[in-house]
Amino acid sequence: MHTVNIHDAKTNFSRLVDAASGGEEIIIAKAGKPAARLVPMERVKVARRFGVLKGKIRVADDFDAPLPDDVIAEFEGR
């Protein structure tokens, strides 16, 4: 954690934001007194709900069947 005055914070704002996003805490002072704190955002972890799309997606029976030779030739540039 380090302290910077408002003028330096305005001048180096991008650098300070990069430092904060990297986990550093920065105190911004006005006339030598702490006025604000720049801290990293908390990462929001979204809970996954399994089975939400059950019955809504259909996979064809031949999904993993080999591709026809003409399609393979197109992929290979022949």
Instruction: Tell me the per-residue pLDDT of 36-67, one tens digit each, with 9 for 90 and over.
Output: 999 999 888 888 899 999 999 999 999 999 99
For residues 45 and 60, give the distance between their C-alpha atoms in angstroms, rounded to a whole number. 33
Within-domain flag for 17: yes
Question: By residue range, what is the domain housing residue 17?
Answer: 2-38
Phi, psi angle pair for 34, to nearest 5°: -55, 130
Q: Note the pLDDT of residue 45.
A: 86
Number of domains comprising the chain: 1
Q: Do 16 and 23 contact (CB within 8 A), yes or no?
A: no
Within-domain flag for 43: no
Q: Note the pLDDT of residue 43.
A: 82
Within-domain flag for 24: yes
Within-domain flag for 66: no
